[in-house]
């Protein structure tokens, strides 16, 4: 079966996803994109992160999750970093929000699973 090209992500949605990533970067105490991109293990180049944060590009779900994990779990904290618990909570909130957007098609998958779920089994009568 041929792959179907996905429709483009609306600009407002792309900006929201970018804002989630920008918020996590800043919450980790990384003021500038180049500060984050220059750290060992950063999963994206500075130019790519800029494009994501501006909403010019939408990361794949895998790329989004890699950046969230990097900012919340692996990147060294900057001087202005939020407390660890708060940063992790922001990471969870970012993933939940992103998964709810049409960009990652998770809601479509959930609706399909609901339609695929079998109906209730017929009840057996006692004594039959």
pLDDT of residue 15: 97
- How high is the mean pLDDT of the chain? 92
Cα dihedral 100/91/45/6 (nearest 10): -10
**Is residue 59 within 8 Å of residue 52, measured between CB atoms?**
yes
- What is the per-residue pLDDT across 17-58, written as a single tens digit (0 to 9) for each? 999 999 999 999 999 999 999 999 999 999 999 999 999 999
How far is residue 66's CA from residue 68's CA, in Å, rounded to a whole number?
Answer: 6
Cα Rg of the chain, angstroms: 20
pTM for the whole structure? 0.85
Q: What confidence tier does 7 reach under pLDDT thresholds 50, 70, 90?
A: confident
């Amino acid at each position: 079966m041929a792959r179907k090209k996905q429709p483009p992500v609306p600009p407002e949605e792309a900006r929201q996803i970018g804002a989630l990533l920008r918020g996590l970067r800043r919450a980790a105490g990384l003021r500038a994109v180049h500060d984050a991109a220059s750290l060992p293990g950063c999963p994206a180049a500075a130019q790519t992160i800029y494009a994501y944060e501006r909403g010019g590009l939408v990361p794949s779900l895998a790329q989004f999750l890699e950046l969230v994990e990097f900012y919340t779990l692996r990147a060294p904290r900057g001087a202005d970093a939020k407390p660890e618990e708060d940063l992790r909570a922001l990471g969870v909130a970012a993933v939940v929000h992103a998964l709810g957007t049409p960009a990652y098609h998770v809601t479509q998958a959930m609706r399909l699973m609901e339609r695929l779920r079998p109906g209730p089994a017929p009840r057996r009568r006692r004594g039959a």
